[in-house]
Structure 1
Amino acid sequence: MALRTAAQVGDRQFTPGSPRAWTIVAMLVVLMALNYADKLAFGLAATPIIDEFGLTLDEFGLAGSAFYLPFFITTLIVGFAADRVGSTRPLGAIAVLWGVAQLSMVAATGLGVILFSRLLLGASEGPTYGLVNHSAFSWLKESDRNLASSLLSAGGSIGVMIGAPVLTWLIVDHGWRSAFLYTGLASIAWCLAWFFIGREGPLSNRAPAASRATDEAPDTAETGAEGAEEAAAGTGSGAAAPAGPDASAAAPAHRIPSILRIIATPTFLAVSLAAFAGNWAIAVNLNFKPLYAEHVLNMTEQQISVFIVVGQLFITAAVYIGLGTLMKSLMGRGYSGRVSRGVLGGVCVVAAGVAFIGFVYAPGLYPRLACSVIGGIGLIAFPVGSTVIAQMAPVERRAGALGTYAAIYGLAGVIAPWFTGLVAEQAETQAAGLDNAFIFWGALTIVCGVVALVFTRPERDGRRLAAAAGGGGPAKSR
């Protein structure tokens, strides 16, 4: 049985998987929804912004890329800092900065203010995905993390589903600045609620030792063979050594693998490339898909809004919830992370790349829109990458590893909008240029998916990390 302490018996809400834990996850899902609503506002307001300030497509693409320029640096800095200070305070701080960034767009007078707003928003939103996963994982057992990470990713889709019609209405009826005003105020309101609700989880390395007892001595009746594997490997949910009177002495500092060892594993690099392709898709969709739909496909603002909502419904139901539940089921039945996460995730990313190319060549409006919707299946790369990294990395390195992961895939956001705008300007027509950029996007996604399919092997690389740090490795699973 797991060790019990007076604190745990008296306050069961601070145990892994408790109602309090899922309340935290729900708050983080809302934060992810606001994250994507903030980003969506810029794409939906593309036409009035371009018209008001006389921007070219490459200038607009530069403003889109500016969002991601500080992404890499802040994601790394905040990720490593969260290993020391926890995730609660950084999450509150970045939400306030989102609000400031969005409100600055309300007073925009030209490209300079737009670039400032996008840089500040990117700097503050960059660490979000790694932080929300780290925070959620500190409240949940390994068996719950696939579903939680999928729900967090689904939060982005929820933000787009709700944001698309609401922001479109605001832009059309009240001007494009109103979209930034209300998203900014919503981010600040979330921070006020987080002040009262947010806490470090019992499986965080920042939590008191007593509250981590459940994780340090897994109850096999609850976690089964999977929990026993984690306890042996010192990975996953944060178990670093067998529980007992000398538990703290049994986990000396040299037994924790360095962050460089973690990020140099083929698995880490493979899932990072898959997420790179996914983030390329997000950056292009948010910045150029509404513009493409309006000027090339001749869709109205309301039709674009419906199209966006349908796409996000598919992503939420089929990708994050459907595939997330399937992966959880496969893991529960004893299949390895290699099969249930690596193979399944890699196949989905490859399929997404094929769909993106199909979007260019499919005959007729509705087949093209169908290809665009199906392409969302590649976004499963985000929860797959987060859970695989948490499966390999010890809790003492988890935030830094997730931050590095987010920084790597964040580079796609720096390149994709600028590259897409540049290619579009070089072609004879805007439509031809965007089609060329979309074909490249599809080919890139296929390559990244194949890499993920072949090289994602969390059990193997987890054993190597444990062996290099002087510990044992997890038992094999089928």
Structure 2
Amino acid sequence: MRWTVLILLFLGMIVNFADKSIIGLAAKPIMEDLGLGPAQWGIVGSAYYWLYPITGVIGAAYADRLGAKKMLSFLMLTWAVLQFGVIAITALPLLIVYRILLGAFEGPFSPVAYAHADRWFPPKLKGFANSVLVSGATVGSMVVAPLLVAMIAGLGWKIAFAALGVVSIVWFFLFMLLTKESPVEAYEKAKKKKKLEKFSLKDLKYIASSKTALFTTLAYFSTYFIVVWIATWMPLYLIDIVGMTAGQMGFAVAAIGIISVVLYMGVSVISDYAFKKTKNWKLSRIYITGASMLIGAICMLSVIVYQNPIWVVIAMCLSKGLTYAILPIGPTIMINEMPERGGLMTSILTSSGNLAGIVAPLATGFVVSLASTQILGYSLSIGAMASLVLIFSILFMLFARPNSTEQKEKMEEEAS
């Protein structure tokens, strides 16, 4: 059952990020069809994240009390309805409303999925399990890009969106039929316990006092600038600046996705192995992840100087694969800070990180519009994002100190 749950969560992440990224792959036909410019497209990209951080926290908090299986299934059904509704979009306002609603109902999925997987895997496999989920995000946003591009070209962008709605319905039935809420031992134990109490001021004080939670969230936040830029702007960057055709762009995006999965899963496996051998959270979770992010940021900065198509693809593979290391390891660190509030802790992480999703598309759109040349506009946006990751990866390594069990008990006593 453990691996069945992980596989279906992996497939759910594919659907989640395919829903999220298809907008970037369909950017050209949508902009031409609705007559949109770069600044307006920036608003479309940003709109997805306007409610995303809020609903992420609320949905994950309810999932801790009501059950992850019910929450994940409900979310998937809402995506199906929204993707079918794309057929009715005829103007920019309707496109923005669709993106706001899709972001609102997709916000809780990642944190709830991370917390759900965490219940099924022992500590020595948690990093690997989360890396599998993050790889689902990469498959959905990048590896399936050639298929999505072909669907957009052959069927039109609206039908391609609706096709993802069909996939959501199939996943819903598989998840309901093939999975359970929790492992048998945890389930039997949970039946004997009182219902989880509501979030309290004591919990808030505990979270606020954790430097590890703060700097993990900041590292995640900085990385999400790159996450959102890759989903919203990289397809256009590869076509307009690097000079690729739509077909070449699709395969380049897929190649970047596949190689990056290998890289950040490799970092997660190394982190798990280091933890298994040393039981040292600082070494295994902080230093390995932070160093990976730092190297990835430097790789992204390099495309500003050297824009050869082959090197751009290589650099994007390295930057995405290495900076994304925080995505699977970050939830493990946050859950360790307050295990009984796993869904809430991961939602704070992902929702705070997704605040970058509000800023990044808008900022890039306006910078590209206002810059004297497109190359300058894209270079400025890439430089700003990479520098942010560089700074916060260093701060993450310096100040994040995951707690041992004894330290957590002491902090809880001080907070109360």
Aligned to 2:260: 315
Query: In the alignment, is the contact (CA less than 8 A) between 1:270 and 1:456 conserved in 2?
Result: yes
Task: Tell whether the 8 Å contact from 2:242 to 2:307 is kept in structure 1 after alignment.
Answer: no
| Deviation (angstroms), 1:75 | 0.7
Could you tell me how far apart the structure 2 residues matched to 1:29 and 1:202 are? 18
Select which of 419, 424, 428 maps to 2:368.
424
1:402 offset after TM fit, Å? 1.2
Aligned to 2:229: 284
Structure 2 counterpart SS, 1:138: helix
How far the C-alpha of 1:73 sits from its partner, in A, is: 0.9
Alpha-carbon distance in 2 for matches of 1:44, 1:254: 40
Q: Deviations over 1:293-336 (max 9, x none)?
A: 1111110111111111111111211212x111111111110241
In the TM superposition, residue 70 of structure 1 has moved relative to its aligned partner by 0.4
5+ residue gaps, structure 2: none
Q: Which residue of 2 aligns with 1:389?
A: 334
Map 1:142-153 onto structure 2 (within 5 A). Answer: 142-153=123-134
Please, which of 184, 200, 206 is the counterpart of residue 261 of structure 1? 206
Answer whether contact 2:42 2:362 (CA < 8 A) is retained: yes
**Residue of structure 1 in register with 2:243 after alignment:** 298
**Residue aligned with 1:469, SS:** helix
Separation of aligned partners in 1, 2:188 and 2:268: 31
Question: Which residue of the partner structure matches residue 4 of structure 1?
Answer: none
2:348 equivalent to 1:404: yes
Matched with 1:208 is 188
Q: Which amino acid aligns with 2:23?
A: F
Q: CA deviation at 1:254?
A: 12
The alignment status of 1:327 with 2:244, answered yes or no, reads no
Worse-matched range after superposition: 159-168 or 69-78: 159-168
Is 1:101 aligned with 2:85?
A: no
Could you tell me whether the CA contact under 8 Å between 1:146 and 1:387 is conserved in 2?
Answer: yes
Cα distance in structure 2, aligned partners of 1:85 and 1:45: 37
Determine if the alignment matches structure 1 residue 450 to structure 2 residue 386.
Answer: no
Query: Based on CA coordinates, which of the two structures has the bigger radius of gyration?
Result: 1
- Do the aligned residues in 1 keep the contact of 2:128 with 2:272 (CA within 8 Å)? yes
The one-letter code sitting in structure 1 at the alignment partner of 2:116 is S
For 1:295, give the aligned amino acid. Answer: D
| CA deviation profile, 1:337-394 (whole Å, cap 9, x unmatched) | 1111101111111112211211111152222222111101100111111111122213
Q: 1:99 to 1:254 in 2, by over 3 A?
A: closer
In the alignment, is the contact (CA less than 8 A) between 1:256 and 1:469 conserved in 2? no
Equivalent residues in 2 for 1:10-409 (5 A)?
A: 20-202=1-183, 207-209=187-189, 258-320=203-265, 322-376=266-320, 377-395=322-340, 397-409=341-353
Matched AA of 1:187: S
The answer on whether the counterparts of 2:54 and 2:351 sit within 8 Å (CA) in structure 1 is yes
| AA matched with 1:100 | V
Write the distance in 2 (CA, Å) between the matches of 1:382 and 1:259.
Answer: 23
C-alpha change, 1:327 and 1:72, in structure 2 (3 Å) is same
1:234 aligns with: none
Deviation of 1:463 after TM superposition, in Å, equals 4.0
Provide, for residues 148-168 of structure 1, a one-character-per-residue CA deviation record: whole Å limited to 9, x for no partner.
Answer: 111111111222344201111
Residue type matched to 1:70 in 2? Answer: L
Quote the Cα distance in structure 2 between the aligned partners of 1:253 and 1:101: 31
Moved more, 336-345 or 77-86: 77-86
Distance 1:53 1:264, change over 3 A: farther
Structure 1 residue runs without a partner (length 5+):
1-19, 213-247, 472-478
Alpha carbons of 1:167 and 1:331: their partners in 2 closer, same or farther (altered >3 Å)?
same
User: 1:413, 1:201 → 2: CA distance?
Assistant: 32
Partner Cα distance (2:190, 2:76) in 1: 31
Partners of 1:352 and 1:314 lie apart in 2 by 13
Q: Are the aligned partners of 2:134 and 2:327 in contact in 1 as well (CA < 8 Å)? A: yes
Write the deviation string for residues 170-217 of structure 1: whole angstroms up to 9, x where unpaired: 111221222201112111221121121232113897x332789xxxxx
Matched residue, 1:10: none
For these two proteins, the number of residue pairs brought into alignment is 412
The code of the aligned residue for 1:468 comes to M
> Deviation at 1:284?
0.6
Verify: 1:469 aligned to 2:412, yes or no. Answer: yes
Structure-2 separation of matches of 1:463 and 1:29: 34
Give 1:282 shift.
Answer: 1.2
SS at match of 1:258: helix
* TM-score normalised by structure 1 residue count: 0.82
Cα distance change, pair 303–160 in 1 and its aligned pair in 2 (3 A): same
The CA distance in 2 between the partners of 1:315 and 1:173, in whole Å, is: 28
Q: Which has the larger helix fraction?
A: 2
Shift of 1:135: 0.8
Distance 1:162 1:289, change over 3 A: closer
Distance in 1 between residues matched to 2:410 and 2:354, nearest whole Å = 31
Among 411, 432, 435, which residue is 2:379 paired with? 435
Of all paired residues, the percent bearing the same amino acid is 25
Contact 1:21–1:201 at 8 Å: present in 2 too?
no
